[in-house]
């Protein structure tokens, strides 16, 4: 936070809601970052936070190797809010008593505010709050007072105003806590004396300034993919350094209907961003001849993408910087997630590994929904800002078996109809993804007294928060019927439409 806006640091003790706390603080228009609980005090101080929040966590403060903070952190004069484990840690470090009793609580509990407190200013004296704890604070440390309790819990909130130390046993970041957001606002605005100044406009101004400082007079390139992240990253960079930026859009011919044109129209015509639109359809298709294995497809497309990108970048002369749409969720997760490899994701627009560029990552501290808000503020059209995620290898991994021009045409048309109807039905933004899949089978049908032997098209529509898990969407039957009728009637080569009703896990969102 040293050169970032003044805000709040959330110390992560491994609680499932730690990231959510940072998001809620940002929703209060205050900048917030998540950092490991054991970040050295000097490093924390250097970030000049206006407040600290200690998150919840799965451990007990009474375990011998429980995660703790350096007690010096509590004496910096920076206000601290401990949540759940964070509260218990505050109590423990200051000589209070924390114990595992039969007071464990899970779920919505009534909370009674028993004392005046800046945290509860302007709020009702009774409310429902969300609890999830096994340990409880039984005695508050000297100098602290109890400010709220629940029926079985003597200490639901405590504070030591003189030292700026506050703690709550419940979770204000969880929507089930009525007034949770107000409690956070009270901490931020009343206790930390922060103002709600972290707005889309300030985020843009800040990003632009930083990009200018980083790039100077050098040249920059950015790979556009058609998605919102690379689009926003590119526009911020353009705003910062104008024509020093060139965008490269490698059109591999595996995009959805009209997408290539849309990117061209948006960037070149509307925003006047220097854009190289590489029409590489034939090149990619010829490399895909005879390729049926999903991983092989990804590999071929990934390699071809890098080669094409490098060639185009090479034509531009000396370029020192590469813009990437890395998000804060990638930053938080990188290196920590030890998931087994199910699919090797190839991100079109991603970094060729051996290229010598310095990275410009203007979205590094933003969550996806924040990127969308910034995109709207920058004037990006809705169809890009709200575009559903699309895999780098595009339609190739939605065509089971070999990718041919004919099969691409069928899938692209079917997919366009599906999306049109989903939009018209008001479902587009409610779905994480909705698309068509073309399996490598054919079945018998009858059309106008004639026997047909043609492809089925699969409808795949899922809801999800982060693509790690997903549920199949319960689309209304009349919407499904319209999609089915239109695809069968309007797309030659299709005589059947089926619905995928599998969740992830055990299925995945894509078919390959
Ligand atoms: P799965 O199919 O693994 O997909 O449940 C999870 C999310 O990742 C997207 N996806 C990809 N994105 N390159 C990408 O950039 C890929 O190779 C790739 N494969 C899957 C998928 O669309 C979903 O949002």
pLDDT tens, residue by residue, 68-80: 999 999 999 999 9
Cβ of 297 less than 6 Å from ligand 1:
no
Inter-CA distances, 14 with 54, 86, 115, Å: 10, 11, 31
Nearest alpha carbon, ligand 1 atom 22: 391
Q: Which atom of ligand 1 lies closest to the CA of 392?
A: 15
> Minimal CA–CA distance to 149: which of 160, 137, 161, 141?
137
Give residue limits of the domains in the chain: 8-191, 200-385, 401-499
> Minimal CA–CA distance to 136: which of 113, 167, 163, 112?
167
Inter-CA distances, 451 with 272, 285, 358, Å: 52, 31, 60
- Which are the contacts of 463, defined by CB distance < 8 A and separation ≥ 6? 430, 431, 432, 470, 471, 473
Per annotation, catalytic residue among 129, 133, 159, 171: 171
What superfamily does domain 200-385 belong to in CATH?
HUPs (3.40.50.620)
Ligand 1 pocket mutation pick from 293, 298, 509, 511 by most atoms within 8 angstroms of CB: 509
If you write DSSP's letter for every residue of 23-41 in order, what string do you get?
HHHHHTT--EEEEETT--H
pLDDT value, residue 338: 36
Q: How many Cβ atoms sit within 10 Å of the Cβ of residue 32?
A: 24
> Minimal CA–CA distance to 476: which of 486, 495, 461?
461
The DSSP 8-state label assigned to residue 245 in this structure reads: E
Asked if 8 and 44 count as a contact pair (C-beta separation under 8 A), the reply is no
178 part of the active site? no
152 part of the active site? no
Nearest alpha carbon, ligand 1 atom 16: 345
Distance of alpha carbon 411 from alpha carbon 409, whole angstroms: 6
Q: Which atom of ligand 1 lies closest to the CA of 298?
A: 17
Cβ of 393 less than 6 Å from ligand 1:
yes
Cβ of 350 less than 6 Å from ligand 1:
no
Place of tokens 């407040």: 51
251-261 average pLDDT score: 96
Cβ of 57 less than 6 Å from ligand 1:
no
247 part of the active site? no
- Which are the contacts of 53, defined by CB distance < 8 A and separation ≥ 6? 8, 9, 10, 11, 21, 25, 80, 81, 82, 83, 86, 187
Q: Which atom of ligand 1 lies closest to the CA of 504?
A: 5
Distance of alpha carbon 413 from alpha carbon 487, whole angstroms: 8
**Mean pLDDT, the chain, integer:** 93
- Best mean pLDDT range from 103-107, 175-179, 335-339: 175-179
Per annotation, catalytic residue among 28, 84, 222, 247: 84
Nearest alpha carbon, ligand 1 atom 7: 467
pLDDT value, residue 336: 39
pLDDT value, residue 348: 46
Cβ of 383 less than 6 Å from ligand 1:
no
Does residue 3 have a pLDDT over 90? no
Percent of the chain with pLDDT over 90: 88
The answer to whether domain 8-191 has CATH 3.40.50.880 is: yes
Q: Which of the following CATH numbers is that of domain 401-499: 3.40.50.1370, 3.30.70.270, 3.30.300.10, 3.30.70.20?
A: 3.30.300.10
Cβ of 504 less than 6 Å from ligand 1:
yes
- Which are the contacts of 418, defined by CB distance < 8 A and separation ≥ 6? 434, 435, 436, 459, 483, 487
3-state DSSP of 367-411: CHHHHHHHHHHHCCCHHHHCCCCCCCCHHHHHECCCCCHHHHHHH
138-157 average pLDDT score: 95
What is the pTM assigned to this prediction? Answer: 0.87
Which region holds residue 427: left if phi is over 0, alpha if psi is between -120 and 50, else beta? alpha
The SS3 of residue 9 is strand
359-376 average pLDDT score: 95
Q: How many Cβ atoms sit within 10 Å of the Cβ of residue 505?
A: 10
Which region holds residue 84: left if phi is over 0, alpha if psi is between -120 and 50, else beta? left
pLDDT value, residue 448: 87
Distance of alpha carbon 485 from alpha carbon 488, whole angstroms: 5
pLDDT tens, residue by residue, 37-70: 999 999 999 999 999 999 999 999 999 999 999 9
pLDDT value, residue 356: 78
Question: Residue 390 Cα, ligand 1 centroid: separation in angstroms?
Answer: 7
Q: How confident is the model at residue 152 (pLDDT cuts 50, 70, 90)?
A: confident
pLDDT value, residue 2: 57
Distance of alpha carbon 373 from alpha carbon 364, whole angstroms: 15
Question: Residue 128 Cα, ligand 1 centroid: separation in angstroms?
Answer: 39
Q: How confident is the model at residue 103 (pLDDT cuts 50, 70, 90)?
A: confident
The answer to whether domain 8-191 and domain 200-385 are alike in fold is yes
Q: Which atom of ligand 1 lies closest to the CA of 433?
A: 24
Place of tokens 């004069």: 77
> Minimal CA–CA distance to 255: which of 430, 371, 397, 382?
397
Cβ of 343 less than 6 Å from ligand 1:
yes
pLDDT value, residue 349: 44
Distance of alpha carbon 165 from alpha carbon 450, whole angstroms: 79
pLDDT tens, residue by residue, 334-367: 633 334 455 555 554 445 566 678 999 999 999 9
Q: How confident is the model at residue 16 (pLDDT cuts 50, 70, 90)?
A: confident
Asked if 291 and 403 count as a contact pair (C-beta separation under 8 A), the reply is yes
Cβ of 389 less than 6 Å from ligand 1:
yes
Phi, psi of 415 (to 5 degrees): -65, -40
Q: Beta strand 321-323 with 220-223: parallel, antiparallel or unpaired?
A: parallel
């Amino acid at each position: 936070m040293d050169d970032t806006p003044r805000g709040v640091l959330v110390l992560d003790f491994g609680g499932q809601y730690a990231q959510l706390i940072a998001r809620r603080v940002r929703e209060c228009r205050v900048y917030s970052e998540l950092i490991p609980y054991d970040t050295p005090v000097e490093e924390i101080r250097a970030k000049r936070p206006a407040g600290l929040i200690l998150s919840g966590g799965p451990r007990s403060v009474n375990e011998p190797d429980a995660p703790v903070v350096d007690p010096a952190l509590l004496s910096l004069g920076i206000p601290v809010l401990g949540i759940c484990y964070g509260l218990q840690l505050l109590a423990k470090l200051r000589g209070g008593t924390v114990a595992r009793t039969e007071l464990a609580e899970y779920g919505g509990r009534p909370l009674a505010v028993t004392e005046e407190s800046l945290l509860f200013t302007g709020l009702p004296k009774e409310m429902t709050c969300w609890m999830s704890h096994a340990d409880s604070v039984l005695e508050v440390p000297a100098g602290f007072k109890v400010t709220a309790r629940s029926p079985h819990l003597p200490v639901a909130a405590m504070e030591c105003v003189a030292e700026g130390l506050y703690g709550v046993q419940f979770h204000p970041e969880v929507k089930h806590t009525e007034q949770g957001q107000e409690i956070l606002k009270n901490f931020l605005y009343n206790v930390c004396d922060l103002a709600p100044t972290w707005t889309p406009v300030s985020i843009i101004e800040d990003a632009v300034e930083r990009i200018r400082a980083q790039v100077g007079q050098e040249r920059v390139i950015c790979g556009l993919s058609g998605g919102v992240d690379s689009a926003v990253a590119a526009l911020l960079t353009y705003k910062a350094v104008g024509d020093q930026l060139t965008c490269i859009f490698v059109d591999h011919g595996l995009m959805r209907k009209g997408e290539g044109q849309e990117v061209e129209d948006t960037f070149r015509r509307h925003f006047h961003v220097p854009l190289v639109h590489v029409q590489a359809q034939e090149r990619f298709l010829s490399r895909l001849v005879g390729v049926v294995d999903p991983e092989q497809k990804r590999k071929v497309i990934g390699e071809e993408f890098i080669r094409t990108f490098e060639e185009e970048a090479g034509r531009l002369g000396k370029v020192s910087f590469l813009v990437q749409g890395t998000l804060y969720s990638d930053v938080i997760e990188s290196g920590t997630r030890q998931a087994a490899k199910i699919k090797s994701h190839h991100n079109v627009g991603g970094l060729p590994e051996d290229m010598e560029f310095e990275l410009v990552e203007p979205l590094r501290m933003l969550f996806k929904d924040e990127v969308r808000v910034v995109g709207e503020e920058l004037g990006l059209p809705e169809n890009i800002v709200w575009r559903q995620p699309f895999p780098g290898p595009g339609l190739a991994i939605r065509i089971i078996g070999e990718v041919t021009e004919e099969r691409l045409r069928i899938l692209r048309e079917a997919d366009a109809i599906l999306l049109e109807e989903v939009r018209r039905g008001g479902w587009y933004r409610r779905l994480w993804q909705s698309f068509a899949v073309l399996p490598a089978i054919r079945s018998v049908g009858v059309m106008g007294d004639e026997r047909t032997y043609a492809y089925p098209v699969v409808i795949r529509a899922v809801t999800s928060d982060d693509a790690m898990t997903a549920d199949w969407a319960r689309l209304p039957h009349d919407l499904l019927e319209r999609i089915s009728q239109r695809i069968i009637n309007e797309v030659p080569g299709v005589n059947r439409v089926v619905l995928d009703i599998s969740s992830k896990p055990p299925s995945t969102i894509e078919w390959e």
